Amino acid sequence: MSAPTGTAAAPPSATGRPGRRGVELTLLTAAVLISVLGYVITGVTRTGSVPDDALRYGAGLGALALLAHLAVRLRAPCADPLPLPIAVLLNGLGLVLIHRLDLEPPGGNAAPAQLVWSTLGVGLFIAVVTVLRDHRTLQRYAYLSVAAALVLMTVPIFFPAVNGARIWIRAGGLSFQPGEFAKILLAVFFAAYLAANHHTLSVTGRRLHRRLGRLRLPAGRVLGPVVTIWLVSVGVLVLERDLGTSLLFFGLFVVMLYVATGRTGWIAVGLLLAAAGAVAAGTLEPHVHGRVEDWLNPFATIEAGQGPGQVAQSLFAFGAGGLLGTGLGLGHSALIGFAATSDFVLATAGEELGLVGLTAVLVLYALLVARGYGYALRLRDPFGRLLAVGLSAIVALQVFVIAGGVTGLIPLTGMAMPFLAQGGSSVVTNWIIVALLIRLSDSARRAGPAPRPAGAVRHGGPAALPGGAVR
């Protein structure tokens, strides 16, 4: 089943910018060495000796990185050399932090399981880079993507809730979270649909309000299908109490709609709707209300003589870390409890690596997101531009929601930090996202910068993205 057309784009040229594969290999070597060094330091700190399996860990991580590099070198030779080393370094650091938490108390097995999922993720990365030769192929499967996404989001309703949320499927001792895969499929659908209809969304429709300036409400036949699918998606996630993913989908939809239309008013409308939804969920849903209370009064349980909760423990961990951190293996963020390796793994990074190390981790995410937006500016086809924006926005929104939650900036929503946190579905999905970004960067660097239309210069907005014409 194909998406609506009308998004003609010239194929990438045969020649492109140098791929700089040597730079990528050098950065990958550094990423693997940093990860192995962290693993060794953790072992020495906790047990007084170098871990027996340090060489095996380094060889395994190095082999995965090398295979991924060879896939990029052979199938996407003009790709950006940065995304793959960033993903390997974040994944390696995540394995180190999860292994470190496994040692307190000893006997945890989260790190080996995460390594298995990471291997599967790299395998899918190689498969996507190898099989998907042109990102525009995905545009043909827009409606199939959204159908698959809705099925994946609906199935967990029929499985038992875990920690108050019905977002996992458990079978044969394995569990995975289908909603993680759904976000990529929805990004593909939103990109295809908005690219096919961006002109209608931008210049037609009824003016919403005179105070909102140029903001117009598009015709229902155009905006209706995508809004309906978004509402169904969010409704299912609310039923499952997967509020973090609901927030992610909402943010993804608003960002892509804003980029497709170039109307800044959609950002204001999105923020108002998000605030109204947050107030409603915080008032009517006990699970959310409890998290809002923890956010407003993180030390209330201490004052009541019940000991610190997870948010308070997280804030203590950041405070204990200070500027340079306590050192790998010397923190106490394991006191956070069962969520230390998942929702709160960033607290371990803050405590043991300090503000400096935490900032470095966040810079890696920022680089990955910024490179994705850079591909969007360089690509010439609207679908590719919107897909690059959507995939980058997924990473950016996840990092903001999680980092904001564990630092007390916003209420905790329960999501996995990309690559860093324990979560098989999450790490596999993020490897697929990086593979798609690699494919987009290869097309972008082959195509070169998009030409700027003469005499059409506009400041202060991203309206140039969808069609290559600056409005």
243-261 and 265-284 helices cross at what angle (nearest 10)?
A: 170
What is the average per-residue pLDDT within 453-461? 41
Within-domain flag for 395: yes
Tens-digit pLDDT profile for residues 56-74: 889 999 999 999 999 999 9
Q: What is the DSSP letter of 334?
A: G
Q: What is the DSSP letter of 165?
A: B
Categorise residue 213: left if φ over 0, alpha if ψ from -120 to 50, beta otherwise.
Answer: left
Within-domain flag for 286: yes
Give the integer Cα–Cα distance in Å for 344 and 323. 19
Q: What is the residue type of 355?
A: L
What residues form DSSP beta bridges with 174? 171
Choice among 44-48, 108-112, 159-163 with the minimum mean pLDDT? 159-163
pLDDT of 73 reads 93
Reduced to 3 states (helix: H, G, I; strand: E, B; else coil), residue 207 is strand
Within-domain flag for 5: no
Within-domain flag for 201: yes
Identify the band that residue 457 occupies on the pLDDT scale cut at 50, 70 and 90. Answer: very low
Give the integer Cα–Cα distance in Å for 390 and 138. 14
Range of the domain at 134: 21-205+219-446
For the chain, what is the domain count? 1
Within-domain flag for 250: yes
Q: CB atoms < 10 A from the CB of 272, how many?
A: 10
Is pLDDT larger for residue 14 or for residue 269? 269
Within-domain flag for 334: yes
What residues form DSSP beta bridges with 165? 162
SS3 for 133-163 is CCHHHHHHHHHHHHHHHHHHHHHHHHCCCEC
Within-domain flag for 16: no
Give the integer Cα–Cα distance in Å for 89 and 419. 9
Structure tokens at 193: 């649909």
Give the integer Cα–Cα distance in Å for 181 and 186. 9
Tens-digit pLDDT profile for residues 3-56: 444 444 444 444 556 668 889 999 999 999 999 999 999 989 888 888 888 888
**169 membership: H or E segment, kind and range:** strand 169-171
Tens-digit pLDDT profile for residues 177-236: 887 888 899 899 989 988 888 777 666 656 655 555 555 666 666 667 767 776 776 666
